[in-house]
Structure 1
């Protein structure tokens, strides 16, 4: 039976790869994106235009979408600002928390009735930075640690309602954001030593397709020979 799957950041990278995989197998994808233009060529069943950097603005577009049932909600969108605690401005910390933590919290809250109705599944695409932090990754790691706490809390609160919750902690995988942050901090980049977007997408599909009598709660993945995330100056 086709599923209704809500995906944030569905216009590019992992989000788009996921949307394409689910659409290809006949699922109904609701794409949450910042602009319609990012969905060029993607045959999503429905689009929700929303700015995740302003979580307090999500209620209206979600209400307009009239999502009665959500089998899966995938929190994929995210931002990363790199810098030391000394040099990184408060605004970058604020935006990171808004997009990476508060937007998933608010979107989940708004869609809980639809998720409960379907006994659905919430998937948080976290990061290896959600388990440990390193120099210059303070704001990003803090947001991902917070996102893990959100997922763990939600799992405990919604288990009785039949809602499953998974957190995926991918390490270095091949995305535009990964390339950009490594360039920003002067760290080496080699796509051959990164997990492919397709492999990460397949892993998410596997989490979603787990038998109904089980759930993958925390899943950590990494390439066999990952590059260090340390900056050149550290």
Structure 2
């Protein structure tokens, strides 16, 4: 079984990915801003419906019966300069089979109304923290020839009115993934571009747009997570470098 670190683990897609990986018997390192929410999520994942029941490698069924560990690390991604100290204090394992960057934030506004602190927050959370955390985890990822997944957005492919700061951060995240893929040939790097997904972030976006939120109008987080985990399950002779998931 492997060990996977997930950022934004208490958000919609992050939680759904954690649930799928937990069911497959993997060890998890969950990060998010709120220690309380992390603790609640870890408690749910340690038992009940999310106990390990299946594995990526069918030949490892016996080893999957052990109780996979779930570790939590509170991280405030608005302050990238503090990530190194938090990771050092956590004492992460020397090998990581994968990192899923699922954390993100968005605030819609026209360029004329966006002040510097809003730009800084978008770039810190959505881009700089992902780059810094990746840098810090590269030794553990190299040791396992691991897999890095960046949860981007269709806004990382096209910028629309009032989405400039968010889109800029996601365009940058795409560049980070492309450069990393070329620089680290022993690692697999995947960018997932979800369209509108039924998460709390989407609820806030709809409120900012002045529209009602209806969960059925959007893709389910579990659907996006299933696509993401399928890229992790791909045999090592290939990699899904980019995949877009849009609501039907």
Inter-partner Cα distance in structure 1 for 2:160 and 2:174: 17
The unaligned stretches of length 5 or more in structure 1 are 225-234
Once the two structures are TM-superposed, the CA of residue 59 in structure 1 deviates from its matched residue by 0.5
- Give the equivalent residue in structure 2 for 1:31: 30
Q: Are the structure 2 counterparts of residues 182 and 41 from structure 1 closer, same or farther at C-alpha, using a change threshold of 3 Å?
A: closer
Listed as ranges, the matches of 1:72-221 within 5 Å are: 72-159=98-185, 162-187=186-211, 189-221=213-245
Structure having the higher helix fraction is 2
Once the two structures are TM-superposed, the CA of residue 221 in structure 1 deviates from its matched residue by 1.3
1:12–1:38 CA contact under 8 A, matched in 2? no
The unaligned stretches of length 5 or more in structure 2 are 47-68
Deviation per CA, 1:122-167: give whole Å up to 9, x if none.
00000000000100000000000000000000000001xx100000
1:4–1:72 CA contact under 8 A, matched in 2? yes
RMSD: 1.2
Inter-partner Cα distance in structure 2 for 1:196 and 1:116: 32
Once the two structures are TM-superposed, the CA of residue 79 in structure 1 deviates from its matched residue by 0.4
Q: TM-score, normalised by structure 2?
A: 0.86
- Give the equivalent residue in structure 2 for 1:9: 8
Question: How many residues are treated as equivalent by the alignment?
Answer: 221
* Equivalent residue for 1:53, pick from 78, 88, 91: 78
Listed as ranges, the matches of 1:56-67 within 5 Å are: 56-67=81-92
Deviation per CA, 1:58-82: give whole Å up to 9, x if none.
0111112222111000000000011
Q: Which moved more, 1:192-201 or 1:101-110?
A: 192-201
Q: TM-score, normalised by structure 1?
A: 0.91
2:11–2:103 CA contact under 8 A, matched in 1? no
Q: Which moved more, 1:8-17 or 1:149-158?
A: 8-17
Inter-partner Cα distance in structure 2 for 1:145 and 1:203: 21
1:101–1:146 CA contact under 8 A, matched in 2? yes
- Give the equivalent residue in structure 1 for 2:96: 70
Inter-partner Cα distance in structure 2 for 1:28 and 1:155: 25
Inter-partner Cα distance in structure 1 for 2:163 and 2:98: 30
